[in-house]
Structure 1
Amino acid sequence: MNIGVLKETQKGERRVSITPKIAEQLKNKGFEVFIEEDSGIKSSYKNSDYSKSGAQIRTKEDIFKNADVLIKINPFDNSEIDLLKKGQIIIAQLFHKSHPKEMQHISQVGATAFSMDAMPRISRAQDMDVLSSQSNLAGYKAVILGAYEMTKIFPLMMTAAGTITPSRVLIYGVGVAGLQAIATAKRLGAIVEATDIRLETKEQTESLGAKFITVNNEDEGEDMNSVYAKVASEDYARRQQKAVNKSLFQADLVITTAMVPGRRSPVLIKEDQVKQMKNGAVIIDLAAAQGGNCELSEFNKTVVKHGVKIIGTTIAPESVSTNASDLYAKNMYNYLIHLTDDNQFKWDLKDEITDETLIVFNGEIRQNGKTEEI
């Protein structure tokens, strides 16, 4: 089986889906690996690194012509889908619920598509879960970016000239990114508070030494089959706003991480609240790509509104591309090994992992394990 690794074309993207180390492991498993020229340059991987691992450096056109499986990180755009052949298999983060037209396009070509972001959140799939591996880095990097953008330091510091009080950090969303942000900010000496619609995250927050801001959710955020929060009601949003405002208005750095799969990010910070924040405060909005948790966020932009610096970004994967590529590649390797047997796809639709991540199968669009009409 020929596996083709394509160069990422999305603006600002620096990652690569397969690293030289993983390319060598795939080669040892009997796969042939084609790497588009210069795919790994921005992650510090040279073409010669891939050649030494046994991979073949090819042009984009050659890869589309000869690969059985095409791998990326970001969704295939329409120009790339036009190059697909009937029966080819693509694997990437397709975000299929947000890109129905692209899924239709793939189905019309007669290709098959697996979406890495549709991975079920079960223990068997943890080593394939790219959302977790990348979000971990996002939480870490958000704090580092915040530290750079702030005009204050994080820790308490006692000097001959006087005492510097520690900065206050507020984090919305205690998922993978939020937990890493809490841990990182605490290590740097900040006073950290966090809130989440899922009350079961209170214990996790406090175990890291942060204060959890409790809002009675009346079971709104509970979902035993998901680690994601649900969309909150307007009533809950009002109660959360009231409970969090005191901490928000005192915060030097605010990091928002709340996202709901397939839907616009919930607006957690409105303009009226920004107006009451400290002059010079910084908001890092990690949900900006899906609309943003702050009403004033703009994706991939830094804006200053009412004295508050608001940075709308996804940040971590692109800015720490070597680590992010390494983790994504390991996820991809484990996923490919799970899907195949003797270098051939098993197509085991009774398996939860295969069933939920297989979005288009030989031109038929699937959802929730069922085939839908095209």
Structure 2
Amino acid sequence: MRIGIPDDGGPLVPATPTTTARLVGLGYDVLVSAGAGAGAGFPDAAYEAAGAAVVSDAEAWASDVVAITRAPDALATPGPAGLRPGARGPDGLRIGAVLIAQIAPAARPDLVRALANRGVTALALDAVPRISRAQSLDVLSALSNVAGYRAVVEAAAEFGGMFSGQVTAAGTTPPANVFVIGAGVAGLAAIGAAGSLGAQVRAFDVRPEVAEQIESMGATVVRADDAAQQVSTDGYASSLTADQEAAAQRAYAVETAAADIVITTALVRGTAPTTITAEMVANMRPGSVIVDLAAPGGGNCELTVPGKRVVSDNGVVVLGWTDLPDRMPRHTSELLGTAVANLVQLGTPGRDGRLALDPEDVVVRGMTVAAGGEVLWPPPPVAVSAPASGVEPAETSGSRRARPTNRARPTGGGASRHARPTGKPAHPAVRAVLIGLAATLAALAVAASPADQAAHFTVLALAVVVGFYVISHVSHALHTPLMSQTNAISGIILVGGMLQIGSANPVVTTLAVLASAVASINIFGGFLVTHRMLGMFRRGPADVSEAQVTPVIRASDTGADEGSRR
């Protein structure tokens, strides 16, 4: 079968040279329209090197499987004799073809009907079921991640200052204050990008369970307990009640008045609720920036105009860009291409170059909006095993529904072969009995030991208990430096073991040899792991030499602080 990659006129392309090689490896003939990847920085020669054929746009559209970034606005209905000769663009899509694209089926029923009338099997990349097995196909989350990052880039370009605080001989400047509304995929990406630039980031979400995620990104959680909501059992975010909305609005009013940058991401089933009123904008400082990631759904700010840059009467810039992922075409195309390749691989179990879609597969069924001349949207609901308390709603730009936080699995369509047995935890009573038995045996061992040995057993027991509670409460981020400290403890054990090797008691000598061997393995292995971990954060010689670093560090009078240079 032939897979066509037409040029749909935008900067994005749903296949990169890397993913094209994957498709060729699955047995397909890949036809790429000339210049289709130019906007993302992929020349035709790169596609040819990956095994694709560079063809005309009409030939790419006439392929058995056609992959584009977004579905066309309209599609001509074929006449009694079929398609007219020489049809161009989307009208060149042949009868019975497979179309892979972002279709937005809920908002474009006429297009879905037109695809069904042509007999096209339409697979919507933006209708992937939010289950763990389909995460590699989740285009919406990938694009939301890009949009959140790009939102900070756009805000930095508009803001009249630096994000990080500066300490210079001439004085100091404070860091920028960034307020993010919504801690979904886009919100967390924005928090991470703003924090990496040195800004002081505060974030709010109506879901109290995401507070830990916000803090893990280095931001401060804005709390409004009266605005907290629970998630519905169907996995969708729900609208706020009047009381919840009023409490949230009070928090927004306080935070926006103190913020230099505001990034909003709130979407509920594709609709953007109003979070920033015109009155709040009027209370913001001149020169402040609002980036509305919910502009495609109408916008969270009352002054947002989708696709436009608006300046308020008091000098606040409101950005309503709807094409933020398109402004980073290379990486966005890589994400799109990977999702398309994963989908084709899912439908090609035999790696024989033939797409065999399983309609019983819950993932394939959820994405199929038209097939066999019939409209198949909306799909049947996906039954998941996640309870309501374990669901994380998608209040983020580009997200439609919740992502189960406990890796919920579908109950049909081949899900059983992906299910993994989970071990049954021990009953609390059994654990208590085992702990009591171990304590009794330890006490008997101490009682039977000589008096001078009882003190050693006591010290050992206390060290085990204290060590367990200390290490179990150490953050995961500190495990690598903690390993280096435990290496020092192992060094003490090694020295003590070596001193006891010459003992006249053979038992003591044997234990000393074993202790020395184990401590040596722990020391060398620990330092090896630590070295490799630290190497992930170390620049290579090709990046910068020490001769280049020295003059930068000494240039403290230029206003660049050491923290921002690293």
- Look up the match of 1:286: 293
1:272 aligned onto 2:305: no
Match of 1:70 among 66, 71, 89: 66
Match of 2:41 among 33, 39, 44: 44
Structure 1 counterpart of 2:288, one-letter code: A
Q: Which runs of no fewer than 5 residues in structure 2 stay unpaired?
A: 76-88, 382-566
- Look up the match of 2:215: 206
- Look up the match of 1:178: 187
Cα offset, 1:214, TM superposition: 2.5
In structure 2, C-alpha distance between the alignment counterparts of 1:218 and 1:280, rounded to whole Å: 29
Contact 2:26 2:348 in 1 (8 A): no
Contact 1:288 1:297 in 2 (8 A): yes
Matches within 5 A, 1:35-114: 35-65=32-62, 67-79=63-75, 80-114=89-123
In structure 2, C-alpha distance between the alignment counterparts of 1:268 and 1:218, rounded to whole Å: 12
Structure 1 counterpart of 2:3, one-letter code: I
In structure 1, C-alpha distance between the alignment counterparts of 2:380 and 2:178, rounded to whole Å: 44
1:334 aligned onto 2:330: no
In structure 1, C-alpha distance between the alignment counterparts of 2:232 and 2:161, rounded to whole Å: 39
Cα offset, 1:3, TM superposition: 0.6
1:30-70 Cα distance to aligned partner (Å, 9 max, x none)? 011111111100111111111111111122222223x1111
In structure 2, C-alpha distance between the alignment counterparts of 1:305 and 1:217, rounded to whole Å: 31
In structure 2, C-alpha distance between the alignment counterparts of 1:81 and 1:106, rounded to whole Å: 11
Cα offset, 1:352, TM superposition: 1.7
Secondary structure at the aligned position of 2:345 is classed as helix
Q: Which runs of no fewer than 5 residues in structure 1 stay unpaired?
A: none
How many corresponding residue pairs? 365
1:240 aligned onto 2:248: yes
Matches within 5 A, 1:206-355: 206-216=215-225, 220-223=229-232, 226=235, 229-261=237-269, 263-306=270-313, 307-342=315-350, 343-355=353-365
In structure 2, C-alpha distance between the alignment counterparts of 1:270 and 1:81, rounded to whole Å: 41
Structure number, greater radius of gyration: 2
In structure 1, C-alpha distance between the alignment counterparts of 2:59 and 2:164, rounded to whole Å: 54
In structure 2, C-alpha distance between the alignment counterparts of 1:160 and 1:81, rounded to whole Å: 62
Contact 1:301 1:312 in 2 (8 A): yes
1:158-182 Cα distance to aligned partner (Å, 9 max, x none)? 1222221111001111111110111
- Look up the match of 1:143: 152
Cα offset, 1:286, TM superposition: 1.4
Structure 2 counterpart of 1:34, one-letter code: L
In structure 2, C-alpha distance between the alignment counterparts of 1:19 and 1:287, rounded to whole Å: 28
More deviation, 174-183/336-345:
336-345
Cα offset, 1:329, TM superposition: 0.6
Cα offset, 1:129, TM superposition: 1.1
In structure 2, C-alpha distance between the alignment counterparts of 1:32 and 1:41, rounded to whole Å: 21
Cα offset, 1:322, TM superposition: 0.8
In structure 2, C-alpha distance between the alignment counterparts of 1:171 and 1:212, rounded to whole Å: 10
In structure 1, C-alpha distance between the alignment counterparts of 2:57 and 2:230, rounded to whole Å: 44
In structure 2, C-alpha distance between the alignment counterparts of 1:260 and 1:60, rounded to whole Å: 38
More deviation, 313-322/95-104:
313-322
Displaced runs of 4 or more, over 6 A: none
Contact 2:105 2:377 in 1 (8 A): no
In structure 1, C-alpha distance between the alignment counterparts of 2:33 and 2:154, rounded to whole Å: 31
In structure 1, C-alpha distance between the alignment counterparts of 2:346 and 2:268, rounded to whole Å: 27
Contact 2:228 2:244 in 1 (8 A): no
In structure 2, C-alpha distance between the alignment counterparts of 1:272 and 1:27, rounded to whole Å: 56
In structure 2, C-alpha distance between the alignment counterparts of 1:89 and 1:50, rounded to whole Å: 22
1:32 aligned onto 2:15: no
In structure 1, C-alpha distance between the alignment counterparts of 2:238 and 2:170, rounded to whole Å: 49
Contact 1:166 1:191 in 2 (8 A): yes
1:259-311 Cα distance to aligned partner (Å, 9 max, x none)? 234x3222211212111111111011112122111111122211101311011
1:170-223 Cα distance to aligned partner (Å, 9 max, x none)? 111111111011111111111111112222211100111212222346774514
In structure 2, C-alpha distance between the alignment counterparts of 1:289 and 1:166, rounded to whole Å: 30
Secondary structure at the aligned position of 2:195 is classed as helix
Structure 2 counterpart of 1:76, one-letter code: P
**Aligned-CA RMSD value:** 2.0
Cα offset, 1:137, TM superposition: 1.6
Secondary structure at the aligned position of 2:317 is classed as strand
TM-score by length of 1: 0.92
Structure 1 counterpart of 2:66, one-letter code: L
Structure 2 counterpart of 1:246, one-letter code: V
Cα offset, 1:338, TM superposition: 1.0
In structure 2, C-alpha distance between the alignment counterparts of 1:97 and 1:46, rounded to whole Å: 35
TM-score by length of 2: 0.62
Contact 1:197 1:217 in 2 (8 A): no
Q: 1:122 to 1:217 in 2, by over 3 A?
A: farther
Contact 1:69 1:88 in 2 (8 A): yes
In structure 2, C-alpha distance between the alignment counterparts of 1:119 and 1:42, rounded to whole Å: 26
Structure 2 counterpart of 1:320, one-letter code: M
Q: 1:303 to 1:336 in 2, by over 3 A?
A: same
Aligned identity (percent) is: 34
- Look up the match of 1:197: 206
- Look up the match of 2:399: none
Cα offset, 1:354, TM superposition: 0.8
Structure 1 counterpart of 2:210, one-letter code: T
Structure 2 counterpart of 1:5, one-letter code: I
Matches within 5 A, 1:15-30: 15-30=12-27
